[in-house]
Structure 1
Amino acid sequence: MSGDELDYQLISSLRYDREALLSAHWNTSRNGDRQSPYLLLSYTVDRFATAAKTHSWATPPEFDLHWLERRCDASLKGKDPSQPYKIRIVHSKRGEFSIESAPVPKLSKPEDLFIAATSNPTSSSPLLGPLISVYPDTEPTSPSIFTSTKTTNRKVYNLARARVSIPAVGVEPGTPKDVILYRPGGQVMETSIRNIAFWREGRWVTPPLRVGCLPGVARRMLIEDGKIVEGEVFTVDLKVGEILLLFNAVEGARLGELCTLS
């Protein structure tokens, strides 16, 4: 077992955005009917609890939505509350939590955080926003506990990015490129930093959790709201130029385009 597999932490990232989220009913209704500037924070609590159980780790007895919200608030003390931030929450094997925040770009239209999930790529309507260039990996990735839970062990994702000449996350912030990871049997899992959906038979289809992808909180919400459905997607069925739906809890939903390596 490598050092990365022995020394790792659980992580989850989400968006803080007062302008986009305080008035968002879909966010309020999932936060005990209380307005919150944190995107789907209650789902992040659920995600940590499930991941900790998967890894046989303990969480603090006081760990719940209100406790985590207070910790997130403390991480933003002294910072401009009108600025959106990426909140990165780290959970150690000992049950300790640390939280970091970093500014992210404001949305041109706050209500558009998940508007891309309503897109129909076969319609004549113009596509929303600049497209993220997405490349299929050149080698398969075997699913593991490190693909089905989010941890600081990023080895398989960094290798996939390197194989298609995309820098590791954080080396070139904002790089509008990503890579699709897939199993040895050809089943698509996700991209290196986003869950993914494909337009199939008039709807967006996202790989099911059984293939080994992450149970992202944005993914959970989009399934609950009927914006996406689960279904297996195979690499042999991917078409260069097809429009993709990409989503996570920091960016919301964005569109991408399947590209090939030149």
Structure 2
Amino acid sequence: MQSFSARIDFSDPDQPAGPRLRRVFGAPPQTLVAHEPAQVRPVLDAVQAAAEQGCWCVGYLRYEAAPAFDAALAVHAPEGPLAWFAVYDQALPWPEEEAHAASGFQWQDRLPRAAFDAAFNDIQRAIAAGELYQVNFTARMSGLLAQDLPGEDRAGAAPALFAALQRAQPAGYAVYLDTGEEQVLSVSPELFFDWRAGRLLTRPMKGTAPRGATPDEDAARDQGLRTSAKERAENVMIVDLLRNDLSRIAEPFSVRVPRLFHTEALPAVWQMTSDVTAQTRKDCSLADVFAALFPCGSVTGAPKVRAMQMIHALEPGARGVYCGALGVVRPVAGGIAATFNVPIRTVTLQGAALHCGVGSAITSDAQADAEWQEWRHKLAFAERARMPFELLETLALEEGRLRDLPVHLARMAAAAAHFGYPWLQTQVMSCLQALLEVHPKGMWRVRLLLNARGQAEAQAYALPVSPQRVQLELASRAIEEAHGEFVRFKTTHRAHYEAFTPTKPGVFDTVLWNAEGEITECTRGNLALLLDGRWVTPALRCGLLGGIGRANALRDGRLVEAVVRVDELPRVEALAFVNSLRGWIAADLLPG
């Protein structure tokens, strides 16, 4: 396998759905590094000169490089070079899809909720006192590569993790950069700036909403984000900040906002972006562009100087490459092009230790619970990549016939589209046909799997007769992941369900409920409840898997959707466990 020190996979800022800029780079013949603020501008000047001579330069500025442009911008002591660029004589074509060993990791620490609430309250007090309008507060999580566990090989871990992160967060402005001391794995959806032929485009990303559980709910979430006074205010504050920043290097009267409050669908969230453009002055350099814009206002707040002072007071350490700038400066016809992302959705790796930042903008009308949930939604990209997973369907094979096959395939195809897994139904059907030839008789539980490369596998296990009646127990706490994608879609990533595996003898499954106190499902199937004389099942918006058995019962009129709260359980007249494998099983709920 060929070794690469850098990869870029960038959207075209003017045509995001068009051809992508995808290049890889071997060992760099030269690197340009700044360790002190006074060295940052000269490094950027050298980068520009190299690109003007036909070279490609890939590199970063850490967030802590900010005082190189304005001494009033407060930062912590850096944990590495302030700026680092590799200079390449040529860019190589993106290679064919490579097979990488799995590269999972485990988190070692997370920001405690109490610490988050304390910082949130400090920011609210400062806003109320008129000190500022918005602060982008962040935290850093640390983790450990699974390959660092005894007996496992870490070779190729960084490229494998980058590939997993790209599958988890496709499109956008992805960069892999190996400096020798650390690897930067960024799958950022946010463009910091694109500068070419004197035209400077910035696209701040501010305003977030979670994706919906159904197409209708998803559309409603999109519309809600577009029309939210809070989210629009959050966005326009940064637009105004960037208009002011651009005016410092723009030709007179050239600053424009051609697009405002545009929403983009990412795998786990809807994000709001706006475009701010300008024509830069004839004598403007790359260092001047950074001096005017860095750090991006979307990761500081407004006004920038006071916001960064508060960030310095509240955040205990350096942000590093996270919230800095990461990108490429390259030769193009008539000059150079510089394209940098804002390194959010970014993991840095040193040996087996990794770090990942997460944050959100706090404004006067922000709510702590909502911001905390926003952090969880934004971290979904890392959870996708944290451990390899496959898409899963469990089917009943009865006397050579797969029950409800078309709807199972449709659900797996929908999951494949959501997670970006290739879907070749003919290959899946071929896999199932081979299984049917081996098991033409009897009752079997079929486990159909689809991996990230679109390869299907089917396994069959003897299916014992289902019990006539089962016992269920109520979960002792809410399932925090109720509204996450690993609940809405069926996969082999089931740690959130396994945490609720029954421990009492004779208990068949656990009844789950969300943070709002609403009943959702069991860990292996859906629920039916007889309440006020009718059979109901929890609504999808409560956070649950849309099971095939549940869908059949809804279609036949045996069930209707409803919201059932935990405190309503004493009124429930009867219960049933429902899934496509075992059908409808009467159930009793153990007293709590």
Matches within 5 A, 1:101-180: 101-106=460-465, 130-142=468-480, 143=482, 144-161=484-501, 164-165=502-503, 177-180=508-511
Change in CA separation of 1:192 and 1:71 when aligned onto 2, cut-off 3 Å: same
Q: Which amino acid aligns with 1:190?
A: E
Q: Which residue of 1 aligns with 2:421?
A: 57
Q: Distance in 1 between matches of 2:465 and 2:524?
A: 20
Task: Work out whether residues 531 and 572 of structure 2, in 8 Å CA contact, stay in contact via their aligned partners in 1.
Answer: no
Q: Distance in 2 between matches of 1:8 and 1:78?
A: 27
Matches within 5 A, 1:25-36: none
2:459 to 92, 100, 106: 100
Change in CA separation of 1:86 and 1:150 when aligned onto 2, cut-off 3 Å: same
Q: Which residue of 2 aligns with 1:8?
A: 389
- Cα deviations across residues 144-168 of structure 1 (Å, max 9, x unaligned)? 111111111111111111xx4159x
1:37 to 395, 401, 408: 401
Q: Say if 2:548 is the partner of 1:184.
A: no
- Cα deviations across residues 203-249 of structure 1 (Å, max 9, x unaligned)? 21111111110011111111111111111111111129852121112
Q: What's the CA shift for 1:56? A: 2.6
Structure 1: tracts of 5 or more residues without a match: 19-35, 108-128, 168-174
Structure 2: tracts of 5 or more residues without a match: 1-104, 107-145, 147-382
Task: Work out whether residues 195 and 247 of structure 1, in 8 Å CA contact, stay in contact via their aligned partners in 2.
Answer: yes
- Cα deviations across residues 68-110 of structure 1 (Å, max 9, x unaligned)? 444223124333x331000110111111111100111257xxx
- Cα deviations across residues 162-187 of structure 1 (Å, max 9, x unaligned)? xx4159xxxxxxx6511011101111
Q: Which residue of 1 aligns with 2:524?
A: 193
Q: Where is the strand percentage greater, Structure 1 or Structure 2? A: 2
Q: Which residue of 2 aligns with 1:47?
A: 411
Moved over 2 A (4+): 1-6, 67-71, 76-79, 239-243
Aligned partner of residue 239 in structure 1, secondary structure:
helix
Q: Which moved more, 1:133-142 or 1:197-206?
A: 197-206
Q: Say if 2:556 is the partner of 1:225.
A: yes
Aligned partner of residue 75 in structure 1, secondary structure:
helix
Aligned partner of residue 52 in structure 1, secondary structure:
helix
Aligned partner of residue 196 in structure 1, secondary structure:
strand
Q: Distance in 1 between matches of 2:527 and 2:478?
A: 17
Q: Distance in 2 between matches of 1:241 and 1:235?
A: 10
Q: Distance in 1 between matches of 2:591 and 2:411?
A: 34
Task: Work out whether residues 242 and 258 of structure 1, in 8 Å CA contact, stay in contact via their aligned partners in 2.
Answer: no
Q: Which residue of 2 aligns with 1:121?
A: none
Q: What's the CA shift for 1:260? A: 2.6
Q: Say if 2:447 is the partner of 1:88.
A: yes
Q: Which amino acid aligns with 1:9?
A: E
Q: Distance in 2 between matches of 1:54 and 1:208?
A: 21
Q: Which residue of 1 aligns with 2:544?
A: 213
Larger C-alpha radius of gyration, 1 or 2?
Answer: 2
- Cα deviations across residues 53-75 of structure 1 (Å, max 9, x unaligned)? 22232212xx16xx644422312
Q: Which amino acid aligns with 1:140?
A: A
Q: Distance in 2 between matches of 1:241 and 1:210?
A: 21
Task: Work out whether residues 479 and 514 of structure 2, in 8 Å CA contact, stay in contact via their aligned partners in 1.
Answer: yes
| Higher RCO (CA-CA < 8 Å; seq separation 6+) | 1
Task: Work out whether residues 240 and 258 of structure 1, in 8 Å CA contact, stay in contact via their aligned partners in 2.
Answer: no
Task: Work out whether residues 133 and 257 of structure 1, in 8 Å CA contact, stay in contact via their aligned partners in 2.
Answer: yes
Task: Work out whether residues 538 and 561 of structure 2, in 8 Å CA contact, stay in contact via their aligned partners in 1.
Answer: yes
Q: Distance in 1 between matches of 2:504 and 2:492?
A: 19
Aligned length, in residue pairs:
209
Task: Work out whether residues 395 and 403 of structure 2, in 8 Å CA contact, stay in contact via their aligned partners in 1.
Answer: yes
Q: RMSD in angstroms over aligned alpha carbons?
A: 2.3
Identity %: 24
Q: Distance in 1 between matches of 2:504 and 2:415?
A: 28
Q: Distance in 2 between matches of 1:56 and 1:45?
A: 16
Task: Work out whether residues 518 and 542 of structure 2, in 8 Å CA contact, stay in contact via their aligned partners in 1.
Answer: yes
Q: Distance in 2 between matches of 1:102 and 1:243?
A: 31
Task: Work out whether residues 447 and 459 of structure 2, in 8 Å CA contact, stay in contact via their aligned partners in 1.
Answer: yes
Q: Which amino acid aligns with 2:442?
A: Q
